[in-house]
Structure 1
Amino acid sequence: MANETKISFALSFVSGFVDTAGFIALFGLFTAHVTGNLVLAGAAFTGSGGHGNLLGKLLMLPVFVLGVVFAAYLIKYKKANALHLIVIQACFIGFFALAGAYTLHDQINPANAAVAAVASFAVFGMAIQNIYMRKLLTIYTPNTVMTGNFTQFSSDIFNASDYYLFKKNTRDPEEIKAVLSSLKKVSIVLTGFLAGCFLGALLVKMIGLICCLLPALLLLWVKMQPGLIKLSKL
Protein backbone atom coordinates (compact mmCIF):
# COMPACT_ATOMS: atom_id res chain seq x y z
CA MET A 1 0.00 0.00 0.00
CA ALA A 2 1.50 3.35 -1.07
CA ASN A 3 2.41 5.85 1.63
CA GLU A 4 -0.26 8.35 0.58
CA THR A 5 -2.87 5.61 0.64
CA LYS A 6 -1.85 4.49 4.14
CA ILE A 7 -2.03 8.06 5.45
CA SER A 8 -5.46 8.66 3.90
CA PHE A 9 -6.78 5.40 5.31
CA ALA A 10 -5.36 6.09 8.77
CA LEU A 11 -6.69 9.65 9.07
CA SER A 12 -10.17 8.66 7.90
CA PHE A 13 -10.05 5.70 10.31
CA VAL A 14 -9.31 8.13 13.15
CA SER A 15 -12.33 10.26 12.18
CA GLY A 16 -14.71 7.32 12.02
CA PHE A 17 -13.39 5.75 15.22
CA VAL A 18 -13.52 8.91 17.36
CA ASP A 19 -16.89 10.01 16.01
CA THR A 20 -18.56 6.64 16.58
CA ALA A 21 -16.97 5.87 19.95
CA GLY A 22 -17.82 9.37 21.10
CA PHE A 23 -21.39 9.15 19.84
CA ILE A 24 -21.98 5.95 21.80
CA ALA A 25 -20.19 6.95 25.01
CA LEU A 26 -21.36 10.57 25.04
CA PHE A 27 -25.08 9.84 24.73
CA GLY A 28 -25.46 10.78 21.08
CA LEU A 29 -22.97 13.59 20.62
CA PHE A 30 -20.84 13.96 17.50
CA THR A 31 -17.17 14.88 17.86
CA ALA A 32 -15.95 14.87 14.23
CA HIS A 33 -19.21 15.48 12.32
CA VAL A 34 -19.87 18.35 14.67
CA THR A 35 -22.66 20.01 12.66
CA GLY A 36 -24.68 16.85 13.22
CA ASN A 37 -25.11 18.16 16.75
CA LEU A 38 -27.41 20.85 15.34
CA VAL A 39 -29.81 18.13 14.22
CA LEU A 40 -29.49 16.36 17.55
CA ALA A 41 -30.02 19.63 19.41
CA GLY A 42 -33.24 20.15 17.48
CA ALA A 43 -34.37 16.65 18.45
CA ALA A 44 -33.38 17.23 22.08
CA PHE A 45 -35.32 20.50 22.10
CA THR A 46 -38.55 18.60 21.46
CA GLY A 47 -37.60 15.62 23.61
CA SER A 48 -37.23 13.42 20.53
CA GLY A 49 -34.39 11.27 19.29
CA GLY A 50 -33.72 9.38 22.51
CA HIS A 51 -30.94 11.70 23.73
CA GLY A 52 -31.11 14.80 25.88
CA ASN A 53 -28.51 17.44 26.76
CA LEU A 54 -29.53 20.24 24.40
CA LEU A 55 -27.03 22.68 25.91
CA GLY A 56 -24.15 20.22 25.75
CA LYS A 57 -24.72 19.60 22.04
CA LEU A 58 -24.87 23.32 21.26
CA LEU A 59 -21.72 23.98 23.29
CA MET A 60 -19.73 21.73 20.97
CA LEU A 61 -20.06 24.28 18.17
CA PRO A 62 -18.06 27.07 19.89
CA VAL A 63 -15.57 24.44 21.10
CA PHE A 64 -15.08 23.39 17.48
CA VAL A 65 -14.66 27.02 16.42
CA LEU A 66 -12.02 27.52 19.13
CA GLY A 67 -10.16 24.45 17.88
CA VAL A 68 -10.15 25.76 14.31
CA VAL A 69 -9.06 29.24 15.40
CA PHE A 70 -6.29 27.79 17.57
CA ALA A 71 -4.91 25.65 14.73
CA ALA A 72 -5.28 28.44 12.16
CA TYR A 73 -3.36 30.78 14.47
CA LEU A 74 -0.54 28.25 14.81
CA ILE A 75 -0.39 27.80 11.03
CA LYS A 76 -0.38 31.50 10.20
CA TYR A 77 1.68 33.03 12.99
CA LYS A 78 3.78 30.18 14.38
CA LYS A 79 4.42 28.47 11.03
CA ALA A 80 3.12 25.17 12.36
CA ASN A 81 3.08 22.36 9.83
CA ALA A 82 0.95 19.23 9.64
CA LEU A 83 3.37 17.26 11.81
CA HIS A 84 3.03 19.73 14.68
CA LEU A 85 -0.75 19.78 14.46
CA ILE A 86 -1.06 16.00 14.26
CA VAL A 87 0.91 15.66 17.50
CA ILE A 88 -1.31 18.26 19.19
CA GLN A 89 -4.39 16.46 17.92
CA ALA A 90 -3.06 13.15 19.23
CA CYS A 91 -2.65 14.74 22.67
CA PHE A 92 -6.25 15.98 22.70
CA ILE A 93 -7.61 12.59 21.58
CA GLY A 94 -5.46 10.95 24.26
CA PHE A 95 -6.82 13.35 26.89
CA PHE A 96 -10.32 12.50 25.66
CA ALA A 97 -9.67 8.79 26.13
CA LEU A 98 -8.20 9.17 29.61
CA ALA A 99 -10.73 11.73 30.85
CA GLY A 100 -13.59 9.64 29.51
CA ALA A 101 -12.30 6.47 31.11
CA TYR A 102 -11.87 8.22 34.46
CA THR A 103 -15.08 10.26 34.65
CA LEU A 104 -17.70 8.55 32.47
CA HIS A 105 -17.27 4.84 33.21
CA ASP A 106 -20.47 4.80 35.30
CA GLN A 107 -22.18 7.92 33.95
CA ILE A 108 -25.84 7.53 33.02
CA ASN A 109 -26.94 11.19 32.84
CA PRO A 110 -26.38 12.81 29.41
CA ALA A 111 -26.91 16.27 30.89
CA ASN A 112 -24.04 15.90 33.36
CA ALA A 113 -21.43 18.63 32.84
CA ALA A 114 -18.71 15.97 32.75
CA VAL A 115 -20.09 14.66 29.45
CA ALA A 116 -19.65 18.02 27.71
CA ALA A 117 -16.27 18.57 29.35
CA VAL A 118 -14.93 15.22 28.15
CA ALA A 119 -16.44 15.68 24.69
CA SER A 120 -14.66 19.03 24.35
CA PHE A 121 -11.27 17.30 24.14
CA ALA A 122 -12.38 15.20 21.16
CA VAL A 123 -14.20 18.04 19.41
CA PHE A 124 -11.18 20.32 19.79
CA GLY A 125 -8.89 17.59 18.46
CA MET A 126 -11.08 16.84 15.47
CA ALA A 127 -11.36 20.57 14.71
CA ILE A 128 -7.58 20.56 14.38
CA GLN A 129 -7.78 17.69 11.88
CA ASN A 130 -10.39 19.58 9.88
CA ILE A 131 -8.19 22.65 9.55
CA TYR A 132 -4.91 20.92 8.69
CA MET A 133 -6.68 18.88 6.03
CA ARG A 134 -8.14 22.06 4.55
CA LYS A 135 -5.04 24.25 4.83
CA LEU A 136 -1.99 21.96 4.76
CA LEU A 137 -2.76 18.48 3.44
CA THR A 138 -4.72 19.63 0.42
CA ILE A 139 -3.37 16.84 -1.81
CA TYR A 140 -5.29 14.33 0.33
CA THR A 141 -8.99 13.56 0.07
CA PRO A 142 -10.97 15.19 2.92
CA ASN A 143 -11.47 12.62 5.65
CA THR A 144 -13.51 14.04 8.53
CA VAL A 145 -17.02 14.18 7.00
CA MET A 146 -18.08 11.62 4.41
CA THR A 147 -21.07 13.27 2.70
CA GLY A 148 -18.93 15.00 0.07
CA ASN A 149 -16.81 11.89 -0.41
CA PHE A 150 -19.83 9.67 -0.90
CA THR A 151 -21.16 12.17 -3.45
CA GLN A 152 -17.82 12.01 -5.31
CA PHE A 153 -17.82 8.20 -5.08
CA SER A 154 -21.31 8.01 -6.60
CA SER A 155 -20.35 10.43 -9.37
CA ASP A 156 -17.19 8.46 -10.17
CA ILE A 157 -19.15 5.19 -10.27
CA PHE A 158 -21.54 6.73 -12.79
CA ASN A 159 -18.75 8.13 -14.97
CA ALA A 160 -16.80 4.86 -14.94
CA SER A 161 -19.92 2.84 -15.77
CA ASP A 162 -20.83 5.29 -18.52
CA TYR A 163 -17.37 4.94 -20.05
CA TYR A 164 -17.03 1.17 -19.91
CA LEU A 165 -20.62 0.14 -20.60
CA PHE A 166 -21.95 2.70 -23.04
CA LYS A 167 -19.49 5.16 -24.57
CA LYS A 168 -16.10 3.52 -24.48
CA ASN A 169 -15.09 4.73 -27.93
CA THR A 170 -16.25 8.33 -27.51
CA ARG A 171 -14.51 9.21 -24.22
CA ASP A 172 -10.99 10.56 -23.77
CA PRO A 173 -8.85 7.82 -22.14
CA GLU A 174 -7.22 10.47 -19.95
CA GLU A 175 -10.64 11.42 -18.62
CA ILE A 176 -11.44 7.91 -17.47
CA LYS A 177 -7.95 7.60 -16.01
CA ALA A 178 -8.68 10.63 -13.82
CA VAL A 179 -12.06 9.19 -12.85
CA LEU A 180 -10.52 5.87 -11.78
CA SER A 181 -7.82 7.68 -9.80
CA SER A 182 -10.47 9.71 -7.99
CA LEU A 183 -12.54 6.59 -7.36
CA LYS A 184 -9.56 4.82 -5.82
CA LYS A 185 -8.71 7.73 -3.52
CA VAL A 186 -12.24 8.28 -2.27
CA SER A 187 -12.80 4.52 -1.83
CA ILE A 188 -9.75 4.34 0.47
CA VAL A 189 -11.11 7.18 2.60
CA LEU A 190 -14.62 5.72 2.80
CA THR A 191 -13.23 2.29 3.69
CA GLY A 192 -10.99 3.74 6.39
CA PHE A 193 -13.84 5.74 7.88
CA LEU A 194 -16.17 2.72 7.86
CA ALA A 195 -13.52 0.51 9.46
CA GLY A 196 -13.01 3.14 12.16
CA CYS A 197 -16.75 3.34 12.79
CA PHE A 198 -17.15 -0.41 13.28
CA LEU A 199 -14.04 -0.90 15.39
CA GLY A 200 -14.79 2.20 17.46
CA ALA A 201 -18.31 0.95 18.16
CA LEU A 202 -17.05 -2.50 19.11
CA LEU A 203 -14.23 -1.37 21.39
CA VAL A 204 -16.12 1.39 23.19
CA LYS A 205 -18.78 -1.16 24.12
CA MET A 206 -16.11 -3.54 25.36
CA ILE A 207 -13.70 -1.27 27.25
CA GLY A 208 -15.15 2.26 27.18
CA LEU A 209 -13.52 5.47 25.97
CA ILE A 210 -10.04 4.30 26.90
CA CYS A 211 -10.19 2.65 23.45
CA CYS A 212 -9.62 6.10 21.93
CA LEU A 213 -5.97 5.76 22.84
CA LEU A 214 -5.82 3.66 19.67
CA PRO A 215 -6.57 6.56 17.26
CA ALA A 216 -4.26 8.78 19.32
CA LEU A 217 -1.42 6.31 18.81
CA LEU A 218 -2.35 5.93 15.15
CA LEU A 219 -1.97 9.69 14.71
CA LEU A 220 1.56 9.46 16.09
CA TRP A 221 2.25 6.70 13.57
CA VAL A 222 0.93 8.93 10.77
CA LYS A 223 3.22 11.70 11.97
CA MET A 224 6.24 9.48 11.35
CA GLN A 225 5.34 8.55 7.77
CA PRO A 226 8.01 9.65 5.24
CA GLY A 227 5.51 11.07 2.76
CA LEU A 228 3.98 13.35 5.35
CA ILE A 229 7.38 14.43 6.69
CA LYS A 230 8.51 15.34 3.16
CA LEU A 231 5.28 17.23 2.44
CA SER A 232 5.54 19.18 5.71
CA LYS A 233 9.02 20.41 4.76
CA LEU A 234 7.86 21.95 1.48
Structure 2
Amino acid sequence: MSFRGRAVTQASATRGRSAKSREIDLLAGLGSEVPGENESVVRSQIVPKRARAEHVRIGMLSGIAGYVDAVGFATLLGLFPAHLTGELVEAVVAVAHGEASSKAVRIAMIPIFVAAVVVAALVSRVFRRRGQAPLAPLLALMTAALTLFTVTGAAFPMLVGTSPSIALFLAGGSAVAAMGFQNAFMRQAAVGSCPTTMMTGNLTQLVIELVELGLGKPREQAAFADAFERRDPRRLRMVATALVGFLSGAMLGAVLTAKIGLFSIAVPAACAGLLTVLAYRDAQRVASR
Protein backbone atom coordinates (compact mmCIF):
# COMPACT_ATOMS: atom_id res chain seq x y z
CA MET A 1 0.00 0.00 0.00
CA SER A 2 1.30 3.48 -0.84
CA PHE A 3 2.13 6.04 1.81
CA ARG A 4 -0.92 8.09 0.78
CA GLY A 5 -3.17 5.04 1.05
CA ARG A 6 -1.88 4.21 4.52
CA ALA A 7 -2.39 7.82 5.61
CA VAL A 8 -6.00 7.83 4.37
CA THR A 9 -6.67 4.51 6.12
CA GLN A 10 -5.15 5.73 9.38
CA ALA A 11 -7.09 9.00 9.18
CA SER A 12 -10.35 7.11 8.62
CA ALA A 13 -9.61 4.83 11.55
CA THR A 14 -8.80 7.83 13.74
CA ARG A 15 -12.04 9.55 12.77
CA GLY A 16 -13.92 6.34 13.49
CA ARG A 17 -12.34 5.99 16.91
CA SER A 18 -12.96 9.67 17.61
CA ALA A 19 -16.63 9.41 16.67
CA LYS A 20 -17.04 6.29 18.79
CA SER A 21 -15.25 7.91 21.71
CA ARG A 22 -17.55 10.94 21.50
CA GLU A 23 -20.56 8.66 21.34
CA ILE A 24 -19.41 6.75 24.41
CA ASP A 25 -18.64 9.96 26.29
CA LEU A 26 -22.05 11.40 25.46
CA LEU A 27 -23.91 8.24 26.37
CA ALA A 28 -21.97 7.97 29.59
CA GLY A 29 -22.81 11.56 30.38
CA LEU A 30 -26.47 10.92 29.70
CA GLY A 31 -26.63 7.65 31.57
CA SER A 32 -27.57 5.64 28.47
CA GLU A 33 -25.98 2.63 26.91
CA VAL A 34 -25.31 1.08 23.52
CA PRO A 35 -27.06 -2.27 23.20
CA GLY A 36 -25.21 -5.42 22.25
CA GLU A 37 -21.48 -5.76 22.23
CA ASN A 38 -20.89 -2.07 22.98
CA GLU A 39 -22.75 -2.21 26.29
CA SER A 40 -19.74 -3.31 28.34
CA VAL A 41 -17.61 -0.59 26.74
CA VAL A 42 -20.09 2.10 27.70
CA ARG A 43 -20.50 0.73 31.20
CA SER A 44 -16.76 0.79 31.72
CA GLN A 45 -16.68 4.46 30.68
CA ILE A 46 -19.30 5.62 33.20
CA VAL A 47 -17.39 7.07 36.12
CA PRO A 48 -18.97 7.12 39.59
CA LYS A 49 -19.88 10.78 39.21
CA ARG A 50 -21.87 10.01 36.08
CA ALA A 51 -23.54 7.05 37.73
CA ARG A 52 -24.64 9.32 40.56
CA ALA A 53 -25.92 11.87 38.06
CA GLU A 54 -27.94 9.15 36.37
CA HIS A 55 -29.56 8.17 39.66
CA VAL A 56 -30.36 11.80 40.41
CA ARG A 57 -32.01 12.14 37.00
CA ILE A 58 -34.01 8.94 37.50
CA GLY A 59 -35.12 10.15 40.91
CA MET A 60 -36.14 13.56 39.57
CA LEU A 61 -38.03 12.15 36.58
CA SER A 62 -39.82 9.65 38.79
CA GLY A 63 -40.64 12.43 41.23
CA ILE A 64 -42.08 14.52 38.40
CA ALA A 65 -44.26 11.63 37.26
CA GLY A 66 -45.49 10.93 40.78
CA TYR A 67 -46.18 14.62 41.33
CA VAL A 68 -48.15 14.98 38.08
CA ASP A 69 -50.11 11.80 38.79
CA ALA A 70 -51.05 13.05 42.27
CA VAL A 71 -52.15 16.42 40.91
CA GLY A 72 -54.13 14.80 38.11
CA PHE A 73 -55.88 12.41 40.46
CA ALA A 74 -56.71 15.16 42.97
CA THR A 75 -57.87 17.88 40.59
CA LEU A 76 -58.64 16.36 37.17
CA LEU A 77 -61.40 13.91 38.06
CA GLY A 78 -59.12 11.02 38.90
CA LEU A 79 -56.92 11.30 35.80
CA PHE A 80 -53.50 9.61 36.01
CA PRO A 81 -51.49 11.42 33.29
CA ALA A 82 -48.26 9.43 33.72
CA HIS A 83 -49.74 6.12 32.58
CA LEU A 84 -52.99 5.63 30.72
CA THR A 85 -53.81 2.03 31.57
CA GLY A 86 -56.86 3.16 33.50
CA GLU A 87 -57.92 5.49 30.69
CA LEU A 88 -57.75 2.64 28.18
CA VAL A 89 -59.96 0.48 30.39
CA GLU A 90 -62.38 3.34 30.98
CA ALA A 91 -62.59 4.02 27.24
CA VAL A 92 -63.37 0.39 26.46
CA VAL A 93 -66.01 0.21 29.19
CA ALA A 94 -67.59 3.48 28.01
CA VAL A 95 -67.82 2.21 24.44
CA ALA A 96 -69.19 -1.14 25.58
CA HIS A 97 -71.91 0.60 27.62
CA GLY A 98 -72.72 3.14 24.93
CA GLU A 99 -71.41 6.03 27.03
CA ALA A 100 -68.56 7.14 24.78
CA SER A 101 -70.06 10.59 24.19
CA SER A 102 -70.21 11.37 27.91
CA LYS A 103 -66.59 10.28 28.33
CA ALA A 104 -65.30 12.03 25.22
CA VAL A 105 -62.83 14.29 27.04
CA ARG A 106 -61.33 11.41 29.03
CA ILE A 107 -61.12 9.24 25.91
CA ALA A 108 -59.39 12.14 24.10
CA MET A 109 -56.45 11.77 26.48
CA ILE A 110 -55.44 8.58 24.66
CA PRO A 111 -54.85 10.16 21.20
CA ILE A 112 -53.12 13.10 22.89
CA PHE A 113 -50.71 10.69 24.57
CA VAL A 114 -50.14 8.87 21.28
CA ALA A 115 -49.54 12.16 19.44
CA ALA A 116 -46.95 13.19 22.03
CA VAL A 117 -45.10 9.90 21.60
CA VAL A 118 -45.18 10.31 17.80
CA VAL A 119 -43.73 13.82 18.05
CA ALA A 120 -41.04 12.62 20.44
CA ALA A 121 -40.12 9.72 18.16
CA LEU A 122 -39.84 12.04 15.14
CA VAL A 123 -37.73 14.57 17.06
CA SER A 124 -35.49 11.78 18.30
CA ARG A 125 -35.06 10.49 14.76
CA VAL A 126 -34.11 13.93 13.44
CA PHE A 127 -31.44 14.50 16.08
CA ARG A 128 -30.01 11.01 15.74
CA ARG A 129 -29.60 11.55 12.00
CA ARG A 130 -27.53 14.61 12.87
CA GLY A 131 -25.37 12.47 15.14
CA GLN A 132 -26.77 14.11 18.27
CA ALA A 133 -28.35 12.50 21.30
CA PRO A 134 -32.09 13.29 21.64
CA LEU A 135 -32.10 13.60 25.43
CA ALA A 136 -32.07 17.38 25.71
CA PRO A 137 -34.68 18.01 22.96
CA LEU A 138 -37.06 15.46 24.48
CA LEU A 139 -36.65 16.99 27.92
CA ALA A 140 -37.34 20.39 26.35
CA LEU A 141 -40.63 19.08 24.92
CA MET A 142 -41.56 17.72 28.32
CA THR A 143 -40.72 21.05 29.97
CA ALA A 144 -42.83 22.93 27.43
CA ALA A 145 -45.82 20.66 28.07
CA LEU A 146 -45.48 21.01 31.85
CA THR A 147 -45.24 24.78 31.44
CA LEU A 148 -48.48 24.69 29.45
CA PHE A 149 -49.98 22.58 32.23
CA THR A 150 -48.91 25.26 34.71
CA VAL A 151 -50.59 28.00 32.65
CA THR A 152 -53.80 26.05 32.10
CA GLY A 153 -53.76 25.03 35.75
CA ALA A 154 -53.56 28.67 36.83
CA ALA A 155 -56.55 29.44 34.60
CA PHE A 156 -58.38 26.24 35.55
CA PRO A 157 -60.87 27.79 38.03
CA MET A 158 -61.90 30.39 35.46
CA LEU A 159 -62.14 27.80 32.67
CA VAL A 160 -64.22 25.47 34.82
CA GLY A 161 -66.70 28.30 35.36
CA THR A 162 -67.23 28.67 31.61
CA SER A 163 -66.73 25.12 30.31
CA PRO A 164 -65.64 22.22 32.53
CA SER A 165 -64.99 20.03 29.49
CA ILE A 166 -62.63 22.55 27.91
CA ALA A 167 -60.86 23.07 31.23
CA LEU A 168 -60.31 19.33 31.65
CA PHE A 169 -59.22 18.95 28.03
CA LEU A 170 -56.61 21.72 28.19
CA ALA A 171 -55.19 20.96 31.63
CA GLY A 172 -55.43 17.19 31.34
CA GLY A 173 -54.20 17.19 27.75
CA SER A 174 -51.06 19.18 28.56
CA ALA A 175 -50.32 16.90 31.53
CA VAL A 176 -50.82 13.77 29.45
CA ALA A 177 -48.65 15.19 26.64
CA ALA A 178 -45.85 15.89 29.13
CA MET A 179 -45.97 12.33 30.40
CA GLY A 180 -46.12 11.04 26.83
CA PHE A 181 -42.87 12.89 26.14
CA GLN A 182 -41.35 11.46 29.32
CA ASN A 183 -42.36 7.90 28.43
CA ALA A 184 -40.89 8.34 24.95
CA PHE A 185 -37.76 9.86 26.46
CA MET A 186 -37.15 6.74 28.55
CA ARG A 187 -37.45 4.60 25.41
CA GLN A 188 -35.54 6.82 23.02
CA ALA A 189 -32.82 8.52 25.06
CA ALA A 190 -32.37 6.56 28.28
CA VAL A 191 -32.00 3.03 26.96
CA GLY A 192 -31.03 0.62 29.72
CA SER A 193 -32.50 2.74 32.48
CA CYS A 194 -35.65 1.83 34.41
CA PRO A 195 -39.17 3.22 33.90
CA THR A 196 -39.85 6.50 35.65
CA THR A 197 -43.62 6.70 35.13
CA MET A 198 -44.95 3.17 35.73
CA MET A 199 -43.92 1.71 39.06
CA THR A 200 -45.45 -1.79 38.81
CA GLY A 201 -42.41 -3.18 37.01
CA ASN A 202 -40.01 -1.34 39.30
CA LEU A 203 -41.75 -2.67 42.41
CA THR A 204 -41.67 -6.19 40.98
CA GLN A 205 -37.97 -5.88 40.17
CA LEU A 206 -37.18 -4.46 43.60
CA VAL A 207 -38.90 -7.36 45.37
CA ILE A 208 -37.11 -9.92 43.16
CA GLU A 209 -33.75 -8.26 43.80
CA LEU A 210 -34.34 -8.20 47.55
CA VAL A 211 -35.39 -11.85 47.60
CA GLU A 212 -32.29 -12.87 45.65
CA LEU A 213 -30.11 -10.73 47.87
CA GLY A 214 -31.62 -12.18 51.02
CA LEU A 215 -31.36 -15.82 49.94
CA GLY A 216 -27.79 -15.46 48.73
CA LYS A 217 -25.96 -17.39 46.05
CA PRO A 218 -27.59 -20.69 44.98
CA ARG A 219 -25.44 -23.77 45.65
CA GLU A 220 -27.20 -26.66 44.02
CA GLN A 221 -27.28 -25.61 40.34
CA ALA A 222 -24.28 -24.05 38.63
CA ALA A 223 -26.41 -22.34 35.98
CA PHE A 224 -28.40 -20.43 38.58
CA ALA A 225 -25.22 -19.65 40.52
CA ASP A 226 -23.67 -18.13 37.39
CA ALA A 227 -26.79 -16.04 36.82
CA PHE A 228 -26.58 -14.83 40.41
CA GLU A 229 -22.95 -13.80 39.89
CA ARG A 230 -23.99 -11.76 36.85
CA ARG A 231 -26.55 -9.77 38.81
CA ASP A 232 -25.99 -6.04 38.59
CA PRO A 233 -26.24 -4.33 42.01
CA ARG A 234 -26.77 -1.08 40.14
CA ARG A 235 -30.20 -2.33 39.05
CA LEU A 236 -31.39 -2.59 42.65
CA ARG A 237 -30.26 0.94 43.41
CA MET A 238 -31.86 2.21 40.22
CA VAL A 239 -35.35 0.79 40.79
CA ALA A 240 -35.22 1.77 44.47
CA THR A 241 -34.35 5.33 43.45
CA ALA A 242 -37.25 5.41 41.00
CA LEU A 243 -39.74 4.15 43.59
CA VAL A 244 -38.58 6.54 46.29
CA GLY A 245 -38.62 9.43 43.83
CA PHE A 246 -42.11 8.59 42.58
CA LEU A 247 -43.59 8.26 46.07
CA SER A 248 -41.85 11.42 47.28
CA GLY A 249 -43.10 13.36 44.26
CA ALA A 250 -46.64 12.09 44.75
CA MET A 251 -46.57 13.08 48.42
CA LEU A 252 -45.23 16.55 47.66
CA GLY A 253 -47.73 17.02 44.84
CA ALA A 254 -50.65 16.04 47.06
CA VAL A 255 -49.57 18.40 49.85
CA LEU A 256 -48.84 21.43 47.66
CA THR A 257 -51.94 20.96 45.53
CA ALA A 258 -54.09 20.90 48.65
CA LYS A 259 -52.51 24.20 49.72
CA ILE A 260 -52.16 26.21 46.48
CA GLY A 261 -54.09 24.26 43.87
CA LEU A 262 -52.85 23.80 40.33
CA PHE A 263 -50.28 26.57 40.76
CA SER A 264 -48.20 23.77 42.29
CA ILE A 265 -47.49 22.42 38.80
CA ALA A 266 -44.76 25.06 38.59
CA VAL A 267 -42.60 22.77 40.75
CA PRO A 268 -42.29 19.80 38.33
CA ALA A 269 -42.09 22.23 35.41
CA ALA A 270 -39.08 23.90 37.04
CA CYS A 271 -37.48 20.51 37.74
CA ALA A 272 -37.92 19.46 34.11
CA GLY A 273 -36.45 22.78 33.00
CA LEU A 274 -33.40 22.19 35.21
CA LEU A 275 -32.89 18.72 33.72
CA THR A 276 -33.16 20.21 30.23
CA VAL A 277 -30.51 22.84 30.94
CA LEU A 278 -28.15 20.24 32.41
CA ALA A 279 -28.68 17.94 29.43
CA TYR A 280 -27.91 20.73 26.96
CA ARG A 281 -24.82 21.65 28.96
CA ASP A 282 -23.56 18.06 28.87
CA ALA A 283 -24.25 17.80 25.15
CA GLN A 284 -22.35 21.03 24.44
CA ARG A 285 -19.44 19.91 26.60
CA VAL A 286 -19.13 16.58 24.80
CA ALA A 287 -19.54 18.19 21.36
CA SER A 288 -16.70 20.62 22.08
CA ARG A 289 -14.20 17.79 22.67
Which range, TM-score by smaller chain? 0.7 to 0.9
- The equivalent of 2:86 in structure 1 is 36
- The equivalent of 1:62 in structure 2 is 111
Q: Give the TM-score normalised by the residue count of structure 1.
A: 0.83
Residues 81 and 232 in structure 1, CA contact (< 8 A), matched pair in contact too: no
Between the aligned residues of both structures, percent identity stands at 29
Q: Tell which structure's C-alpha radius of gyration is larger.
A: 2
Residues 81 and 136 in structure 1, CA contact (< 8 A), matched pair in contact too: yes
2:121 is aligned, of 59, 67, 72, to 72
Deviations 1:33-71 (A, max 9, x none): 122212344677799xxxxx6222211000000000111
Alpha-carbon separation, structure 1, partners of 2:200 and 2:162 = 31
1:143 is aligned, of 196, 202, 213, to 196
Flag structure 2 segments of 5+ consecutive residues without an equivalent: 1-48
- The equivalent of 1:11 in structure 2 is 61
For 1:139, give the aligned amino acid.
G
Q: Could you say what secondary structure the match of 1:178 adopts?
A: coil
Residues 202 and 239 in structure 2, CA contact (< 8 A), matched pair in contact too: yes
Q: CA 1:226 to 1:62, structure 2 compared with 1: closer, same or farther past 3 Å?
A: closer
Residues 100 and 210 in structure 1, CA contact (< 8 A), matched pair in contact too: yes
Alpha-carbon separation, structure 2, partners of 1:134 and 1:101 = 31
Residues 223 and 229 in structure 1, CA contact (< 8 A), matched pair in contact too: no
Residues 105 and 169 in structure 2, CA contact (< 8 A), matched pair in contact too: yes
- The equivalent of 1:123 in structure 2 is 176
Q: Does 78-87 or 124-133 show the bigger shift?
A: 78-87
Greater helix share, structure number: 2
1:84 is aligned, of 137, 149, 167, to 137
- The equivalent of 1:156 in structure 2 is 209
Alpha-carbon separation, structure 1, partners of 2:62 and 2:113 = 18
Residues 136 and 280 in structure 2, CA contact (< 8 A), matched pair in contact too: no
- The equivalent of 2:14 in structure 1 is none
What does residue range 179-190 of structure 1 map to in structure 2 within 5 Å? 179-190=232-243
Residues 87 and 220 in structure 1, CA contact (< 8 A), matched pair in contact too: yes
Residue 101 of structure 1: how far off its partner (Å): 1.5
Q: How many residues align?
A: 229
Residues 134 and 188 in structure 2, CA contact (< 8 A), matched pair in contact too: no
Q: Give the TM-score normalised by the residue count of structure 2.
A: 0.69
- The equivalent of 2:74 in structure 1 is 24
For 2:114, give the aligned amino acid.
V
Deviations 1:9-31 (A, max 9, x none): 00110111011111211111121
- The equivalent of 2:13 in structure 1 is none
Q: CA 1:184 to 1:121, structure 2 compared with 1: closer, same or farther past 3 Å?
A: same
Q: CA RMSD in A?
A: 3.3
What does residue range 144-223 of structure 1 map to in structure 2 within 5 Å? 144-163=197-216, 172=225, 175=228, 178-223=231-276
Deviations 1:116-165 (A, max 9, x none): 2221111111111111110111132111111111111111111111217x
Residue 181 of structure 1: how far off its partner (Å): 2.3
Deviations 1:179-202 (A, max 9, x none): 532211100000000001111111
Residues 194 and 238 in structure 2, CA contact (< 8 A), matched pair in contact too: yes
Q: CA 1:206 to 1:106, structure 2 compared with 1: closer, same or farther past 3 Å?
A: farther
Q: CA 1:98 to 1:156, structure 2 compared with 1: closer, same or farther past 3 Å?
A: same
Identify the structure with bigger relative contact order (alpha carbons < 8 Å, sequence gap 6+): 1
Residues 160 and 180 in structure 1, CA contact (< 8 A), matched pair in contact too: no
Deviations 1:188-219 (A, max 9, x none): 00000000111111111111111111111101
